[in-house]
Amino acid sequence: MSLIPQDFIQELLGRVDIVDVVGRSVQLKKAGANYKGLCPFHTEKSASFTVSPSKQFYHCFGCGAHGSAIGFLMEHAALGFPEAVRELAREAGMELPQPQGDEAEQRRAAEQRSHKARLREVLEQADRFYRDRLRASARAIEYLKGRGLSGRAAARFGIGYAPDEWQGLERVFPHYEAELLLQAGLVVARDAQGQTVEPGAASAAAVTRRYDRLRDRITFPIRNAQGEIIGFGGRVLDRGEPKYLNSPETELFHKGEELYGLFEARQAIQRHGQALVVEGYLDVVALAQHGVEHAVATLGTACTAEHVRKLFRYCAQIVFSFDGDAAGRRAAARAMEAALPALSDERSVKFLFLPAEHDPDSFVREHGADAFEREIARARPLSVFLLDHVGEGLALDTAEGRAQAVSRARSLMGLLPESALKGQIAGELAQRLRTSVDELRPAAAPGGARRGLRPGAGGGAPTPAPTAQPRSQRLSRPRVDHAHTAMRILLAHPQLWREVGPAQHELLVSPDCSVGELARWLESYLDEHAHPTPSALWEALRADELLAAAEALQPAELLERDAAELLPDLHGALGSVEMAWIKRRQQQLAEGGLGDEASRLEYQSLSLRLRELMHDLPRL
């Protein structure tokens, strides 16, 4: 991504018309200054998908999908960033520039691209071998038939078979000792002591034994969102451990980021507006064979925040399917924690617990797709699961049990972004635990924002605070919700940056502020681009790997709001950040005893500033 100059990206976005780009895939109709149509990322009957020619940005008010022309091609056409840029540049008649940097850097980048291409080719060759071996193995075919899989389903997902041979891949790769086979995760190397030799960790002389990683297993190619094979999963045919064996982490494969079946399920997920997350490869294949085509599976790891973010790009609802036993409930709790930061009023998560004797594979084979869809419809909303999880195993009729539940609730509520959903959950929790909503707020972490910053009555320059302060005297960070609110508005309407006063600016760009990195980035970007379009800002964030952090604040939802209308909200959020800081600083000074004239003068100055803010922000 960094090899394409940002100046070129900005010029490209200024030349292409996002209405034309989106209009090739979505039927758009003029609606005032914008265009509207049915969202291509989820199923809807009334148009909530808006394309703005002035902002060069699209946004769906139903599922939250949004982005630039580049982002649309990446999400809808499953193109990588370079491919999307190349496609738009071709249409705009622009020649893609040569990569920037010195010759050595260009050479390293070219070598890396070439190396990854070779890894992909090696995996493709192995995939062809495994599929050929399946056709030649009556035992493997009988196993799949016994699991109810059709030849059509096996072909769709590229299922194969790794023969029961230590070096079966030697038939495909005559140079079996090649380092590339280790780097692709296809071959395991061991030294004389039986220890695994990592790729590149030792010379060939240290390796005394090599063998295929997958042997006598059904193979499942794992593809990225572009359909490229990045690894394999293997399942034993009979008894044996581990039941599932995945490729190791490689340059291409990172199991905490990838989902099995996403490439095959992507369009179905968009049509349904829902993704179903299951635990096994065969669950995905069996469900798809019976018509439930929007299922994916994690790859031998717990669901991660990256998994959730990736799925929410395609739909507005995720349903997690787990076993109903204790292990399944623990997995559901981990999935809930991963999902909470990505939730909003437009996004939802549910949990499906099938009867103890079934997994999705066996259930759909025994009862059919309609019955399974009915189970999905009865899945428990995250809010219900969270309420039950907080009180699980605790005696809520006792003060001690409720206190423990409040402690659990605080940590979970701290993960939820500000939204109506958060308010509703907090209200129900407070009622169930016989406490107040304020009691459920996460406690401020010690050692937080910008020690020694003295806004003062006139918002003057900060003065240094004493060093080596006791833990009880350290300042804590501003309340996350107000800083997030301010940055959310500023990312949607960066022209409002000039409304940030000096003292509040110092708090916002502080390295300890929750949005400090984004604030510093935005200030630097606006120094070079005074009037950016949302699409240009979005792609600059992507280039600097800050897009995920920005999207977590959901600024796209504010693009259609007028900047002047949001100005009071911005002033309110910034004032609240400053007020919270002043109160903590005054507490710090008071705990120090106010024994010297400087401390008393600072305390008085802060009191004056606090009164000013309280007068300007009576509701806060």
Residue 208 has a pLDDT of: 85
**Residue 242: other Cβ atoms inside 10 A:** 10
Pairwise CA distance, residues 318 & 453, whole Å: 43
Residues of the chain with CATH 3.90.580.10: 6-92
Q: What letter represents residue 253's amino acid?
A: F
Q: Does the domain made of 6-92 have the CATH classification 3.20.10.10?
A: no
474: number of CA atoms within 13 Å, CB side? 15
Pairwise CA distance, residues 381 & 378, whole Å: 9
Residues of the chain with CATH 3.90.980.10: 115-246
Rounded to the nearest integer, the mean pLDDT of the chain is: 85
Pairwise CA distance, residues 501 & 107, whole Å: 46
Element (H, E) at 413: helix 399-413
Task: Tell me the per-residue pLDDT of 325-352, one tens digit each, with 9 for 90 and over.
Answer: 788 888 999 999 999 988 888 789 999 9
The position carrying tokens 């389903």 is: 153
Residues of the chain with CATH 1.20.50: 388-440
Task: Tell me the per-residue pLDDT of 134-173, one tens digit each, with 9 for 90 and over.
Answer: 999 999 999 999 999 999 999 999 999 999 999 999 999 9
Distances in whole angstroms, Cα of residue 328 to Cα of each of 20, 278, 355:
47, 11, 12
**Average pLDDT for runs of 10 along the chain of length 620:** 75 90 89 91 86 92 89 84 88 75 71 88 97 96 94 95 96 92 94 81 72 96 89 90 90 92 89 90 95 93 89 87 84 93 87 90 93 94 93 91 92 88 91 90 46 33 35 37 89 90 85 87 86 89 89 89 90 86 82 79 82 66
Residue 591 has a pLDDT of: 79
Radius of gyration of the chain (CA): 28
**Residue 100: other Cβ atoms inside 10 A:** 14
Closest CA to 609 of 589, 588, 585: 585
Residue 417 tokens read as 């972004």
Element (H, E) at 518: helix 516-528
| Residue 228 CA from chain centroid, whole number | 21
Pairwise CA distance, residues 547 & 510, whole Å: 20
Task: Return the CATH fold of 262-378.
Answer: Dna Topoisomerase Vi A Subunit; Chain: A, domain 2 (3.40.1360)
Residue 559 tokens read as 């693009």
Three-state secondary structure readout of 47-80: CCEEEECCCCEEEECCCCCEECHHHHHHHHCCCC
Task: Tell me the per-residue pLDDT of 78-102, one tens digit each, with 9 for 90 and over.
Answer: 788 888 998 898 888 888 876 655 6
Pairwise CA distance, residues 263 & 548, whole Å: 21
Residue 148 has a pLDDT of: 93
DSSP state of 473: G
Residue 390 tokens read as 């907080």
Residue 527 has a pLDDT of: 83
Task: Tell me the per-residue pLDDT of 269-280, one tens digit each, with 9 for 90 and over.
Answer: 878 889 999 988
CATH of 115-246, one of 2.60.120.10, 3.40.50.720, 3.90.980.10, 3.30.360.10: 3.90.980.10
Q: Does the domain made of 388-440 have the CATH classification 1.10.3470?
A: no
